[in-house]
Structure 1
Amino acid sequence: MAHPTQLGFQDAASPVMEELLHFHDHALMIVFLISTMVLYIIAAMITTKLTNKYILDSQEIEIIWTVLPAIILILIALPSLRILYLMDEINNPHLTIKAVGHQWYWSYEYTDYEDLGFDSYMVPTSDLTPGQFRLLETDLRMVVPVESPIRILTSADDVLHSWAVPSLGIKMDAVPGRLNQTAFITARPGVFYGQCSEICGANHSFMPIVVEAVPLKHFEDWTSLMLDA
């Protein structure tokens, strides 16, 4: 969960988000080195006679500023493509959940169970209990087993929505008439918050997402309770 004055991303709760954080740090270091080099050259040109004909007309310099950007792009592209492949990889999911966006709430269907489905609405500020987060808490959470591959199918009933949970590294558009899919594995138990990341209308900011990762035994107890309700 994000906190005031926080810099950077939320703590990773899935292997994919850990890879994204590593890639962010990798790309940020490249940007920092480029910025440092450019600022140094500018300062040197201002304070010294670096702008002589040997620099402005140097073929070696032209080769360097042509080859170096190509190398930098390769250093950024290779890990990026690797992460894209990991994010698209869906192998033998243990559980499939369909998330359908509505104006303005989410509904969830556990497709591996015959009658397990529910609507998830934001808890009004007046009904919050101590410890709950305003505009982020829902009356029913999407509960999943920890350390299990989960496949999410997203769609929408009316307009474009987007199912996004930052700490899990997930952001998948929910498009009417289309079924998109993504997958994640929660690396630890916890409660992870997200929001619709597509501007879907007047109450766009009032359709939060709450994913609760619990041990398998607790998940089985929860499913039994929901099916008996």
Structure 2
Amino acid sequence: MRLLSAMTTAAVSAACALSATMAFADDQLPELPVRGAPVPGGIALQTPASSVASGVVFLDNLLLWIIVPITIFVTALLIWVIVFHNRRANPTPSKFTHNSPLEVAWTAIPALILLVIAFFSFPALRYEQTMPEADVTLKTTGYQWYWGYEYVDHGVEFSSFMLNREELEEYGYTQDEYLLATDTAVVLPVGKDIVVQVTAADVIHSWAMPAFGVKQDGVPGRLAELWFNIDQEGIYFGQCSELCGINHAYMPITVKAVSEEEYVAWLERQGAQFAEGSWEADVQARVQLAAAE
């Protein structure tokens, strides 16, 4: 057991060292504001940064407006029954067994409420689960306990590990971002449809980005998909959201959303090649033309 533990530690250390050599590949990116991060004591959803997340927030608010009046109404009924229909206040209870209008009401009204919920939730679910034609395809693989990424169309691959406290400033983060920041961030363009393929290499993990409104389990041997389109440039944090072992709490996700031009430049620095006629090639040509002028 000690030998196995030592071998595992050595393997993780080697992977960390490999990742560290790639960690400064994005140091030429512009300084970005943190837009998607948990707030101490927060009870609300994060500010949506994609159309998928906007739909989730709208549905959450709709359900809140429905459930709060129901909760107040049921609580008032309980109080009314407790006060006016206890043994002391009502020593001789009535013996009726049916009330047709009441029974019709408590059947029809909940059914109508469920229809309203379905009317809004089914389209939102369909929108989130229907994959668009991808402008960017990113494959992510969960490992115990880090994430591996592959830009499928460009042959760019790296692993992403959580930063220790003493490393945060070195990578441009603050101490408040401990347990959130990683050594190598996923870089994605704003305004593009991004399809993420999610799987795992050992146990079930879950790739979750609250600001994007997505959460998808990665199951070994299976390939699942999610998608989003980021609204604003910035840094967004996520987390593995499926209990996956002793270090489950230490495999965060960092996404840096940048402009199309910055994204293409970042891919170029990673040695990526662009297919003729692709949007990346068009952006590359536009940037080169502007520089020449």
**Count of residues paired in the alignment:** 227
Deviations 1:101-153 (A, max 9, x none): 1111111100111x311111111122121525101111110000001000000
Match of 1:182 in 2: 226
Match of 1:23 in 2: 59
Contact 1:55 1:61 in 2 (8 A): no
Which of 117, 121, 128 is matched with 2:168 structurally?
128
Q: Given the superposition, is the C-alpha separation of residues 65 and 124 from structure 1 closer, same or farther in structure 2, using an over 3 Å criterion? A: same
Match of 1:89 in 2: 130
1:169 partner letter = G
For normalisation by structure 2, the TM-score amounts to 0.73
Question: Is the counterpart of residue 151 in structure 1 residue 195 in structure 2?
Answer: yes
Deviations 1:11-56 (A, max 9, x none): 111111111111111111111111122223233344558x986997
Match of 1:68 in 2: 109
Match of 2:78 in 1: 42
SS of match in other structure, 2:235? strand
Q: Given the superposition, is the C-alpha separation of residues 146 and 54 from structure 1 closer, same or farther in structure 2, using an over 3 Å criterion? A: farther
Q: Given the superposition, is the C-alpha separation of residues 173 and 46 from structure 1 closer, same or farther in structure 2, using an over 3 Å criterion? A: closer
Give RMSD over aligned pairs: 2.0
- Larger CA Rg, structure 1 vs 2: 2
- Consecutive unaligned residues of structure 1, counting only runs of 5 or more, are none
Which of 31, 38, 47 is matched with 1:2 structurally?
38
1:123 partner letter = L
Q: For structure 1, which segment, 1-10 or 37-46, has the greater mean C-alpha deviation from structure 2 after superposition?
A: 37-46
Shift of 1:192: 0.7
Q: Given the superposition, is the C-alpha separation of residues 144 and 152 from structure 1 closer, same or farther in structure 2, using an over 3 Å criterion? A: same
2:160 partner letter = S
For normalisation by structure 1, the TM-score amounts to 0.92
Q: For structure 1, which segment, 118-127 or 40-49, has the greater mean C-alpha deviation from structure 2 after superposition?
A: 40-49
Which of 148, 152, 156 is matched with 1:116 structurally?
156
CA distance in 1, matches of 2:69, 2:95: 24
CA distance in 1, matches of 2:47, 2:79: 38
Q: For structure 1, which segment, 143-152 or 37-46, has the greater mean C-alpha deviation from structure 2 after superposition?
A: 37-46
Q: Given the superposition, is the C-alpha separation of residues 54 and 21 from structure 1 closer, same or farther in structure 2, using an over 3 Å criterion? A: farther
SS of match in other structure, 2:181? coil
CA distance in 2, matches of 1:105, 1:46: 54
CA distance in 1, matches of 2:270, 2:165: 25
Q: For structure 1, which segment, 214-223 or 132-141, has the greater mean C-alpha deviation from structure 2 after superposition?
A: 132-141
Q: Given the superposition, is the C-alpha separation of residues 37 and 99 from structure 1 closer, same or farther in structure 2, using an over 3 Å criterion? A: same
Structure with the larger helix share: 2
Match of 1:107 in 2: 148
CA distance in 2, matches of 1:177, 1:131: 37
CA distance in 2, matches of 1:204, 1:5: 22
Match of 1:80 in 2: 121
1:96 partner letter = T
Which of 94, 99, 107 is matched with 1:58 structurally?
99
